Structure 1
């Protein structure tokens, strides 16, 4: 056994991990849904905010900042507009959370049995997080695409219901239509989750004794710091993913009707750089960080506490 052999954590049983991960994803998603809608709207907005001349050909709304965008959505679409796409998003987060934490647990346990070839703890966390994130992203991607398309709808609805959207995409775009931008998503999530879990596992022991933090735990603070570090590094790929997800026959029917035609991750990055500059790659970064921090904090705090509760309940049941 290597020197790192004493850092194997009690990750719980497979059932406990699935339940805790699913509940964590469900609660987290509902809390940050409005910020998610705002982020998607800002990411799909291509005209320059500093150049009024670029607004002349825009038929959709012009958003500026998180709070003003939120007010504009409520004014034009009602309070429900802030939760557009929440049904497929909730389904995605529950499935994603369960798959992610299960894959992370399994990867961690496999790496822990490498004996003398075992990696240092930060590398183990990075590899486990990257594998978990990539697998969870690929398996739940169609729900992610549906979430984006519903959130991108303005007052004029493109899809009338979740079932009709699935039927229409399958009929007009085929199976590939449900995976538009998937390569960008996997390319983004692998380094993101690797960095996130590596940073989280590094911060958590340091902050474990900070009982003065909200909820009396360092889990939330560790989740916030880890998410900010990881999200900033991979944000351009997240933006490209959103632009690719709304491609297809309905591209000009969303709230932003002037979304260009993008094809492929690399070509999309080059097109955005050429037409909108480096700043164009970071549209919506501020609200993304505002969303990512509480989302990760709620997710990790909920996961850790639900897992602990399930372990205690199972222990009592055996007594």
Structure 2
């Protein structure tokens, strides 16, 4: 059987995605797969480099593991994700010329608990799970496939690639994977934003009702409102995630191979998530607001396209307005990365035949 997705499996976040923790763990030699035992080596002989066989997890299992990992991670960090969205769209709810208050996580969390109840922190999480299952699966799988084809086109064999070429293939593969996944699952992302942005006024009553209502009120293409901005952001976001993570991890492992693979993966993954969020957050904020244009039959707020929206936000809210909600986004990155890594590794072991042997 041909191995799927090369010699390593991947998992990612959002936001949303990185190489799976399992690749770091599985690539380490152990007593079960060493080419020769220590006792059989002559004194002074150099231990041979050990290469493990590729993981034999099937394509379907890989997609399933990635989807479950992404959905579980999003569920655990849903309260912070909703706070981020509420802060991002705060400028749309203010009266013209009104002075916006500084975002306060504790104040907004208290308001949600008091006015909407504790369960409201997970408002829109149902559609998040429905969206994240196919999105994460497609994202993980597409990245490895794109990277494999790029390496084949460039004639790269094994790990023999320069730092620049490696970063280039990761950027291209990550960007392509993000755009592919976002394009195929976009209507669910739009519905998720509208459900999560609702406070006391419940115009949309659920996933199905939202899909039907948006189509009725705004036409079929209303389900793809803001998609251009989304693709502008998700491509660079996923590209930076994969590139920073894999580059830092390879450099770290080369210099400190004694460090726990779990610690390396979590540290590099968290830093990659922070880098990608910082670089693409203004685009993400604008796409959220464009997704909410016309929601509930309300009049449009931004009428001058993408560049006009950026200019209007900066004029009314200042430069910081483009980063409104970045703090809960940062708080979400580290636990999200950790959870998705651990869940993906656990699911891979369950789905791979005889994966627990020898443990």
Distance 1:229 1:174, change over 3 A: same
Q: How does 1:1-319 map to 2 (within 5 A)?
A: 9-11=7-9, 12=55, 13-46=58-91, 54=98, 64-116=103-155, 120-205=165-250, 206=252, 209-211=258-260, 216-250=262-296, 252=298, 260-313=301-354
SS of 1:54's partner is coil
Pair member with larger Rg? 2
CA contact (8 A) 1:25 1:299 kept: yes
Output the CA distance in 1 between the equivalents of 2:259 and 2:90: 41
CA contact (8 A) 2:103 2:324 kept: no
Distance 1:265 1:199, change over 3 A: same
TM, length-normalised to structure 1: 0.83
**Structure ranking higher in helix proportion:** 1
Question: 5+ unaligned residues in a row in structure 2: which ranges?
Answer: 1-5, 10-54
CA contact (8 A) 1:45 1:259 kept: no
SS of 2:202's partner is coil
How far apart are 1:262 and its partner, in Å? 4.5
TM, length-normalised to structure 2: 0.74
How far apart are 1:63 and its partner, in Å? 7.2
How far apart are 1:261 and its partner, in Å? 3.2
SS of 2:155's partner is helix
Question: 5+ unaligned residues in a row in structure 1: which ranges?
Answer: 1-7, 253-257
Output the CA distance in 1 between the equivalents of 2:149 and 2:351: 23
CA contact (8 A) 1:220 1:298 kept: no
Number of paired residues?
293
- List, as ranges, runs of 4+ consecutive aligned residues in structure 1 with deviation greater than 6 Å: none
